[in-house]
Amino acid sequence: MVDDDKLTRDLVVNALMYCVNRDVLSFENGFSALAYLDTDKDSPDIIVSDVDMPEMNGLALLESIKKKWPSKICVIMSEDPASEKSASDLGADAFLAKPFKITDLFNIVQKYIVDTE
């Protein structure tokens, strides 16, 4: 989970941990998330990222991830409807318009993670 807003980040992390009964990592910006991915530690099954963040926004993060790990599942979320097309063009697997219902996020995780196991 990558979002500079702590409240949103904590809400999504807690909801996902409950929903999928897995560890969920959180990062404040794209740079820190990308740095973690570059360490080759336990690679996350799915990356959920906000668009509007300082230092490295979610679209730049998405572009970097898809170049290096094309099959990595990436979900982009934003309040700006125009971001959906940009995210899609960069290879996002799903888009969540903010504000979203937590069930919408659960459905995406179900589709890409739980149902594929």
Domain, as residue range, for 109: 6-116
Q: Is residue 23 part of a domain?
A: yes
Q: What is the pLDDT of residues 52-96, one digit of tens each?
A: 999 899 999 999 999 999 999 999 999 999 999 999 999 999 999
Round to whole Å and give the CA distance between 43 and 87: 21
Q: Is residue 60 part of a domain?
A: yes
pLDDT at 25 over 90: yes
Q: What is the pLDDT of residue 117?
A: 57
Please give the full DSSP string across 36-58, using - where no structure is assigned. Answer: HHHTTSS--SEEEEES--SSS-H
Q: What is the pLDDT of residue 114?
A: 67
Q: Is residue 77 part of a domain?
A: yes
Round to whole Å and give the CA distance between 94 and 112: 10
Q: Is residue 1 part of a domain?
A: no
What is this structure's pTM?
Answer: 0.91
Q: What is the pLDDT of residue 115?
A: 62
Q: Is residue 106 part of a domain?
A: yes
Q: Is residue 112 part of a domain?
A: yes
Instruction: Look at the chain and report how many structural domains it folds into.
Output: 1
CATH number at residue 41: 3.40.50.2300
